[in-house]
Chain A
Amino acid sequence: EPEVTQTPSHQVTQMGQEVILRCVPISNHLYFYWYRQILGQKVEFLVSFYNNEISEKSEIFDDQFSVERPDGSNFTLKIRSTKLEDSAMYFCASSEGSNSPLHFGNGTRLTVT
């Protein structure tokens, strides 16, 4: 069964550095998402992406964050100037349609020191 893949599985970075989290969505899916889960807390929506543009973003997704689909397969989340509170598990997801269930990757654990 096709799946969403995320790399790296764990990223450690120093405060103030930039990180790029990478995702390869399922190939025939058209909608892409980033969610995050701070340890012990809820899974939170960050952003949705369709037709090469952001369709919705949450209040968490401020100017520090950006997303890009640089080619036909990858979907990236960039965090500029990371902060300690950005430490979390970041999940990429994709769906076939706007009403279809989300398929999640295994996540990237980001640790900001």
Chain B
Amino acid sequence: AQSVAQPEDQVNVAEGNPLTVKCTYSVSGNPYLFWYVQYPNRGLQFLLKYITGDNLVKGSYGFEAEFNKSQTSFHLKKPSALVSDSALYFCAVRFLNGNNRLAFGKGNQVVVIP
């Protein structure tokens, strides 16, 4: 079955420093991978996706993610974190059956310290 793992619970980073949120995946076949962000009392917002092509995917708000097949990882990165990036970040993988069913990781709370 398709699944993703987000090994950390909380990621603390100083404002201006690089931010990395880790995600590893376990899939049958080629993975469709996504990152979503959730701000307090809001729904999940799409950040970026990897389906095929370049391993480095650029998304919203200056975020990017690198697909690494050998390490089965899809870490989310931002070169310089902002306080407004503090939120809950979810990695997700799509099931192969074409119904756009996503399996989410448990989420990582990112805290950007001013």
Contacts and interface: CB of A to CB of B under 8 A. Distances in A.
Q: Contact residue range for chain A?
A: 20 to 34
Nearest to A50: B99
A104 interface: yes
B90 interface: yes
A102 B41 contact: no
A98 B106 CA distance: 24
B46 A98 contact: no
A42 B107 contact: yes
Interface in B60-114: 90, 97-107
A4 interface: yes
A105 interface: yes
Nearest to B101: A45
Contact of B105 (A33, A42, A101, A106): A42
A interface SS class: strand
A57 B81 CA distance: 38
Nearest to A92: B43
Contact of B101 (A56, A91, A99): A56
Interface residues of B, number: 23
A25 interface: no
B43 A105 contact: yes
B22 interface: no
B90 to A, nearest CB: 6
Contacts of B106: 41-42
A102 B100 contact: yes
A60 to B, nearest CB: 12
Contacts of A106: 41-43
Given A104-B43, A106-B43, A48 B51 contact: no
Interface string A54-66: 0110100000000
B104 A104 contact: no
A107 B43 contact: yes
A84 interface: no
Interface of A: 4, 6, 31, 33, 35, 41-45, 48, 50, 55-56, 58, 91, 93, 95, 98-107
